[in-house]
Amino acid sequence: MLRSFYVNAARYSYSTTPLQRVPKIPDAEISPKKVNLDYDHHLRIREKHLNPAIFTLYKKPVLITQGNKQYLWDHTGKQYIDLTASVSTISVGHCHPKVSKHLKEAVDTLWHCTNMHMHPNMTRLLEKLTSKLPKHLDTIYLVNCGTEAVEMALSLARLYTGAWEYLTLNNAYHGISNANLGMLGMGHWKPQIPNGFGITSVMNPDVYRGMWGGKNCRDGPAQTVRDCNCADGECMASENYLGVLDETFRHSLPPKIAGMMIEPIQGSGGGVHIPRGYMKGAFEMTRKRGGLCISDEVQTGFGRLGSHYWGFEYQGVMPDIVVTAKGMGSGFPIAAVITTKEIASCLARTLHFNTFGGNALSCAVASATLDVIDEENMQAHVHEVGNYLISGLLKLRERYEFLGDVRGIGFMVSIELATDKKSRNTFPADNLAKIMEDLRDMGVLVAKGGMYGALRLKPPFPATKQDMDFVLEVFDIAFNNHLHKKK
């Protein structure tokens, strides 16, 4: 641990706080530009004019003025490590120099032309992206965000199969357009508008909170603390959840379905790490009923899982359609639906058009992002540093009764807090908010997610072991502060 990085932090107003000092955040490669901004003005304008549906992570949102690799700075020059990856979008890092260079070149050359013409940035991206996928997934619809890509996959599945019924998992998040609301498995996100025609959500195979789960369910370093009698490589929980899916097929669905969409590890649903064999079994059942298998890789793609470039590879399945976004542009809006020529042709029976899909700037950014992931060997780095982070979190879980679950692989990691390990009762939201504020004060930005308030840790890929030492120490202090907080 980085004892030499300690600075005084007497500003914390806790009654008995044994850890009186907080570590100093590792040095960044740049010094932030000085800015002179009136925070209250920005807050006022936001409150007055920005749509009220956007929630903030803190009572007073942070005013971010700069980003570099894994770090962000606010208007006061305070540095943070961005464990949110700005909602899992920042893959190769904020303002990665190579990506910025390609973007600047494109800015000076060609911003946009209709995709009814050709441009070299799009050609480059199509070649690069298909080279990262199995051969049969050779046809791409370029779109602008994950929601659009998810919705297009739904249309393709219905058009191709001629069937209507579509399956998703409870606790899933696939975006919130009207069509996608039907796939949303978290009730507190659902507005009172008609949605979800022909979409059935099935029981989530959540091995921490669900009906079944044990200490052997996940492929990866972090298991639950629940007991089970499964031998190595076996997972009864997975089989039981597949049994529920089979029952849903038999009782609630017609013999033929359009498809099933699964996130290989759930993102916004609090990082629920679905058990070994579930995705494979679910896709086999889907295929038996004529449906297409869709992997939502919006968060799990492009090496975030470390051990695998794609979440479907990690889960050992072969999808018919892959949906990507977020990390593909490392913060720039671009997304894609990748499928077979035959499936993709369904939309060609009528006219189909997307104004900005394949935009020259976004294609330049995405091509450079894909290059950087390979050139800087980021996937292997994410695997190594992710394991380091997870092993540190597992040690913390042993020390704090309210750390219920640690899960994930690579840089897709979550911690679920609970009142205690045995009951797994929901951790009070106020206390979670306080811990997040405390983490922020010490320079660590994390997101939360899911129905029970899990903390989500999705570092940008350049984050180092030194960063993780800092993060783990800050978490330790925040958790300790929670234990000793004034009642």
Ligand X SMILES: Cc1ncc(COP(=O)(O)O)c(C=O)c1O
Q: Which of 165, 263, 320, 438 binds ligand X (CB under 6 A)?
A: 263
Binding part of the chain for ligand X, among 168-176, 202-210, 445-453, 477-485 by CB under 6 A, reads 168-176
Total number of residues binding ligand X (CB under 6 A)?
15
Compute the least distance from the CB of residue 266 to ligand X, in Å: 8
Nearer to ligand X by Cβ, of 102 and 174: the residue is 174
Q: Is 161 in the site for ligand X (CB under 6 A)?
A: no
**Contact, 240 vs 211, CB < 8 A?**
yes
Q: Which of 151, 165, 296, 405 binds ligand X (CB under 6 A)?
A: 296
**Contact, 448 vs 432, CB < 8 A?**
yes
Q: Is 146 in the site for ligand X (CB under 6 A)?
A: yes
**Contact, 296 vs 260, CB < 8 A?**
no
C-alpha pair distances (Å), 72 with each of 75, 95, 375, 456, 475? 10, 10, 24, 17, 18
**Contact, 285 vs 243, CB < 8 A?**
no
Question: Encoding tokens for residue 317?
Answer: 């399945």
Compute the least distance from the CB of residue 438 to ligand X, in Å: 25
Nearer to ligand X by Cβ, of 70 and 268: the residue is 268
Compute the least distance from the CB of residue 455 to ligand X, in Å: 16
Compute the least distance from the CB of residue 241 to ligand X, in Å: 19
Rounded Cα distance between 175 and 325, Å, is 11
Binding part of the chain for ligand X, among 173-181, 248-256, 308-316, 445-453 by CB under 6 A, reads 173-181
232-251: contacts with ligand X (CB under 6 A):
none
Q: Is 325 in the site for ligand X (CB under 6 A)?
A: yes
Compute the least distance from the CB of residue 252 to ligand X, in Å: 24
Q: Is 298 in the site for ligand X (CB under 6 A)?
A: yes
Q: Is 145 in the site for ligand X (CB under 6 A)?
A: yes
Compute the least distance from the CB of residue 94 to ligand X, in Å: 18
Rounded Cα distance between 4 and 193, Å, is 55
Binding part of the chain for ligand X, among 27-35, 260-268, 402-410, 434-442 by CB under 6 A, reads 260-268
Q: Is 267 in the site for ligand X (CB under 6 A)?
A: yes
Q: Which of 150, 169, 292, 390 binds ligand X (CB under 6 A)?
A: 150
Rounded Cα distance between 431 and 57, Å, is 13
What is the DSSP track for 380-416?
Answer: HHHHHHHHHHHHHHHHHHHH-TTEEEEEEETTEEEEE
Q: Is 447 in the site for ligand X (CB under 6 A)?
A: no
- 292-296 and 321-324 as β-strands: parallel, antiparallel, unpaired? parallel
391: which residues sit within 8 A by CB, 6+ positions away? 221
For 73, the 3-state DSSP assignment is strand
Rounded Cα distance between 326 and 319, Å, is 19
Nearest to 302 by CA among 222, 385, 408, 378: 378
Q: Which of 91, 121, 223, 299 binds ligand X (CB under 6 A)?
A: 299
Phi-psi region of 137 (alpha: psi -120 to 50; beta: other; left: phi over 0): beta
Rounded Cα distance between 141 and 126, Å, is 10
Question: Encoding tokens for residue 278?
Answer: 């579930």
Compute the least distance from the CB of residue 457 to ligand X, in Å: 15
Compute the least distance from the CB of residue 473 to ligand X, in Å: 29
Rounded Cα distance between 44 and 215, Å, is 49
Q: Which of 75, 96, 174, 273 binds ligand X (CB under 6 A)?
A: 174
Compute the least distance from the CB of residue 357 to ligand X, in Å: 13
**Contact, 242 vs 282, CB < 8 A?**
yes
Nearer to ligand X by Cβ, of 74 and 263: the residue is 263
Positions in the binding site for ligand X (CB under 6 A)? 87, 145-147, 150, 173-175, 263, 267-268, 296, 298-299, 325
